[in-house]
Amino acid sequence: MTNQFDQKTKEYAIGRPGYPEGVLAAIKEIGIDEHAVIADIGAGTGLLTRMLGNLGCSVSAVEPNEEMLNVCRRYCEDSKNIDFIHASAEQTTLKENSVDLITMAQSFHWFDKSLCQKEFKRILKENGHMMTLWNDMQSDSEWEKEYISTLYRYKVKTTAAISKFDPDEEKRNFFGQEFTKVYFDHCHSVTEEGFIGGALSLSYTPAKTDHNYDEFVAELQRLFSKYQQNGIITFHYKTEVCVGQFAKSLT
């Protein structure tokens, strides 16, 4: 699915939210320290990767989209403990039994689960952990409801990001057992550029080559003008963090 974000890398970088600091505390709770090895699979532009670098351990950013990986490399350039790998989740090129924690931020739903299950078992150390992260935008206010309605009205395709499935059931099937789940409140404040960029970065909204791109951008501009306060709009998220391990019964 490497082409799902072609022509959207810049918008992804300026518009997508990062992750709350509580994520790092959750990682430390499972025993990850400066001696550990983390593989950030589907690293994208590095929003989580740079945070992981702050743990002081070895981090591998694995990303199949070369343009996104280049942005990730620039975004994380001050972190000397991060390696950047142009590879897919299904074929990471990482060494066998080399990874203590696999992180998947906004990326688990894109993977071929059968192939990834084999690959993750291969690269994880014994008793290694996996962590999925998902920023779930809240829709409590009128502007958030109108924003979501606009996104769906202009969608140009149905992708894994908005397909109908039970994410918890997918993770149970993938891990072969139950997992733990915690939530963090998270806010993301953006200017008009970030507001529009975030909407354009979504895999199912118009790209510049789509016929309704200009109309979509104009509608986003109208929404921002209507709801902004002092040139800023703040998104409210619940960040879901799921931590699991492969069941011993899975072969």
CATH number of 4-136+161-189+237-244: 3.40.50.150
> Given the DSSP bridges, would you call strands 58-63 and 180-190 parallel, antiparallel or unpaired?
unpaired
pLDDT of residue 165: 75
pLDDT of residue 7: 61
pLDDT band at residue 8 using 50, 70 and 90 as cut-offs: confident
- Of 100-114, 150-164, 190-204, least confident by mean pLDDT is 150-164
pLDDT of residue 4: 53
Domain boundaries of the chain, sorted by first residue: 4-136+161-189+237-244
**Is residue 158 pLDDT above 90, yes or no?**
no
Torsion angle defined by CA atoms of residues 210, 155, 6 and 92, in that order, rounded to the nearest 10 degrees: -160
Q: Are 64 and 88 in contact (CB under 8 A)?
A: yes
Q: How many CB atoms lie within 10 A of CB 112?
A: 13
State how far the Cα of 55 lies from the Cα of 34, in Å rounded to an integer: 6
Kindly state the percentage of the chain with pLDDT values over 90. Answer: 86
pLDDT in tens, 20-52: 999 999 999 999 999 999 999 999 999 999 999
Kindly report the pTM of this predicted structure.
Answer: 0.93
For residue 207, give the amino acid letter: A
Mean pLDDT of the chain: 93
For residue 240, give the amino acid letter: E
Residues 6+ apart with CB under 8 A from 250: 117, 121, 176
Q: What are the beta bridge partners of residue 129?
A: 101
State how far the Cα of 122 lies from the Cα of 204, in Å rounded to an integer: 32
**Is residue 107 pLDDT above 70, yes or no?**
yes
